Amino acid sequence: MSNVNPAELPTVSVTELPAGSLTLLDVREDDEWAAGHAPGAVHIPLGELPGRVEELAKLPEDQPIYVVCRSGGRSARATAWLNASGWEAVNVAGGMKSWHAEGRPVEGENPSFPPEIL
């Protein structure tokens, strides 16, 4: 996955995300996901996207895939790759750091620790 100019990608801020049902793809690593992620998000680490296209094919086709990472860099690369591969993908600017800062819900995988964004 090559470097891309984020200015050339479809991008939304967390506050611009549509209300209601949306497809959110989290491309962070496993430890980041386990520490804290958006409820209902799909988790496929950036480096695993090309090998997991069968999972992507199961996502709803009638709406864009909103791609999120920690701050927006990895998700920009994933968005560029997805769009080049035939999906309609939109980068979420500011990533999970912005998601958390906007007061959106976050859940973790370990019930002994409160969720956090790594």
Nearest to 6 by CA among 99, 100, 86, 89: 89
Per the CB < 8 A criterion, the answer to whether 92 and 17 are in contact is: yes
Q: What are phi and psi of 30, to 5 degrees?
A: -55, -40
Question: Which one from 42, 69, 76, 78 is the annotated catalytic residue?
Answer: 69
Tell me the CB-side half-sphere exposure of residue 116, using CA atoms within 13 A. 5
Per the CB < 8 A criterion, the answer to whether 91 and 9 are in contact is: yes
69 annotated active-site: yes
Residues with catalytic function: 69
